Amino acid sequence: MNKAVKNLFHYNGIIHVHSTYSDGTKSIPRIAAIAGELDVDFLLITDHNTIQGKLDNLEGWYGRVLVGIGCELNDPQDHNHYLAFDVKETIPYPLPAQEYLCRVRQQGGFGFVAHPFENRSSMPEYPPYPWTLWDSDCFDGIEIWNQMSEWMEGLTHRNKYLRALHPRRSIVAPKPETLRKWDELNNSRKVPAIGGVDAHGHIHKLWGFIPKKIFPYKVSFRTIRTHVLVSEKITPETDYRQALNILYDALRAGRSFISHNYLGDASAFRFWAENGSEQATMGQSLKWEEGTALRVSLPTAAECTVIRNGLRIARKSGKGLNFPIAEKGVYRIEVRRKKRLWILANHIRIL
């Protein structure tokens, strides 16, 4: 592995979590304790239209888990949900989507479009909340994989028992239209991606009057993970505000990738580009010259697909892979294991 890439520090975490400050079922300290029982480094809370948990000084270290508090904003029609981070004051509700996008930036914050192409009818009490404001350039990134949205959208009368018994197995892949839109946007500007669990700990009644908690927080936390690569080491001895700044910088820049933890630990995955003199990892750019190549290092052998400007151009299987690059473009990697999508990497720009 390239030395510059090898020297980056890796942290994996859970994004898009609701607590009792909105419609979740557990307190932030209790949710953090659950995350601490797993191999989780950070946890980002996103209660609806409030950062009261942050104002109540609940950000910080909970054992080895770093907790940051953002919010999930929405417009008066309950569309255009936006996961906002690094905001200092509660943004008033209700506002038009373009207005709260601007206010997040005015506070020095950033955010990700949540479950952008949500479309479901299996649970009338949980209607879809799609994103419609695609002509705006004020959103920063996209939540391309939402665990709860996928589970609910795939729910039918015939399969609900199997999906309830094996909820993690039923999470398969992001929606194709989400990936197409993500690639399309990245052809004109950098739009980093995250994965989210959308955890609430709700109890659903799939069997008439018999309640079933399908996704307790711990089960949700074993599905979609977002991994970041940073140049500074973070430990519980690091001031939590400094640690959050390091984490947020990586998410803003797209120095990150997404994995489905059900298929295995993806922590050792790396994706970078190099030419004769320089290297670039996810979220970065590299000048094309003769000999430029994409490189992938995996924790175990798997199938890698290279996507350039939204089109699949190469596929190889192995553990350490090399893809020579013949032309400029916006490149990303998808990794499949056991014929299922395991890892999605943010783009690298070859200029």
Residue 188 CB burial class (10 angstroms; 0-12, 13-18, ≥19): exposed
Rounded to two decimals, the pTM is 0.95
16 confidence band (pLDDT: 50, 70, 90): very high
Which token pair is 138?
A: 């004020």
List the structure tokens of 58. Answer: 């609940």
- The whole-number pLDDT of residue 223 equals 96
Task: Give strand pairing partners of 290.
Answer: none
Contact 350, 288 (CB under 8 A): yes
What pLDDT was estimated at residue 172? Answer: 93
Tens of pLDDT, residues 253-305: 999 999 999 999 999 999 999 998 999 999 999 999 999 999 999 999 999 99
Answer yes or no: is pLDDT of 218 > 60: yes
Q: Which amino acid is at 84?
A: A
Q: What is the per-residue pLDDT for 208?
A: 55
Q: What is the pLDDT of residues 27-60, one digit of tens each?
A: 999 999 999 999 999 999 999 999 999 999 999 9
Q: What is the arithmetic mean of pLDDT over 58-66?
A: 98
| pLDDT tens by residue, 101-154 | 999 999 999 999 999 999 987 777 778 999 999 999 999 999 999 999 998 888
At 164, the pLDDT band (50, 70, 90 cuts) reads: confident
d(CA 17, CA 54): 14
| pLDDT at 213 exceeding the cut of 70 | no
Q: What's the average model confidence in pLDDT over 161-180?
A: 87
Q: How does pLDDT run across 311-346, given as a tens digit for each residue? A: 999 999 999 999 999 999 999 999 999 999 999 999
Distance from C-alpha of 343 to C-alpha of 111, rounded to nearest angstrom: 22
- Give Dmax (Cα) for the chain: 66
Q: Which of 197, 213, 217 is nearest to 205 (CA)?
A: 213
Peptide bond into 94 cis (omega under 30): yes
Q: Give the confidence band of 206 by pLDDT, cuts at 50, 70, 90.
A: low
Predicted pLDDT at 155: 78
Tell me what pLDDT residue 163 has.
75
Question: What does the pLDDT look like over 145-158, one tens digit per residue?
Answer: 999 999 888 877 78
- Residues 226-253 pLDDT 10s: 999 999 999 999 999 999 999 999 999 9
Write down all domains in the chain, each with its CATH number in brackets: 3-263 (3.20.20.140), 270-350 (2.60.40.10)
